[in-house]
């Protein structure tokens, strides 16, 4: 871990890191999500990985629960809102709080 990817992306393309298996992280180029009324898209600048994420990455699961398809790890993010009421502002995403 600790790989940094700063190369610019093409317009309409975003980078994502997906966990495909134990120790198998892949950086992909995916289409940006389309704007949806009532939702805000965020250009992610940083993501935190918690202890649970590390179990998923190093062991493939937690207890009896196993990952069966690629996932994007991390659920604490910060970045810049691309649209919506906070467009252009730096935001932190708390997954425990529902969007309004």
Q: pLDDT tens digits for 68-93? A: 888 888 878 899 999 999 999 999 98
| pLDDT, average across residues 6-35 | 83
Burial profile 63-94: b = 16 or more Cβ within 10 angstroms, e = fewer:
eeeebeeeeebbeebebebeebeeeeeebebe
Residue spans per domain, the chain: 13-93
Strands (E), 1-100: 13-21, 24-31, 42-48, 61-62, 65-66, 76-81, 90-93
Helix (H, G, I), strand (E, B) or coil at 39: coil
Instruction: Indicate whether 38 pLDDT > 60.
Output: yes
Distance (Å) of CA 17 to CA 5, 29, 32, 34, 80: 10, 9, 14, 19, 19
pTM of the full structure: 0.71
Instruction: Indicate whether 60 pLDDT > 90.
Output: no
| pLDDT, average across residues 25-31 | 91
| pLDDT, average across residues 40-69 | 87
Q: pLDDT tens digits for 1-17? A: 444 444 445 678 888 88
CA atoms within 13 A on the CB side of 47: 18
> What's the CATH number of domain 13-93, 3.90.1310.10, 3.90.180.10, 3.20.20.70, 3.30.950.10?
3.90.180.10
Instruction: Indicate whether 99 pLDDT > 70.
Output: no
């Amino acid at each position: 871990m600790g790989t940094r990817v700063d190369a610019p992306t093409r317009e309409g393309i975003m980078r994502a890191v997906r966990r495909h298996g134990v120790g198998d992280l892949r950086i992909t180029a995916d289409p940006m999500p389309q704007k949806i009324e009532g939702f805000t898209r965020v250009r992610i600048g940083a993501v935190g990985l918690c202890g649970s994420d590390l179990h998923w990455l190093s062991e493939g699961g937690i207890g009896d629960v196993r990952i069966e398809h690629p996932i994007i790890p991390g659920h604490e993010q910060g970045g810049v809102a691309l649209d919506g009421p906070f467009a252009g502002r730096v935001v932190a995403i708390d997954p425990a709080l529902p969007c309004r």
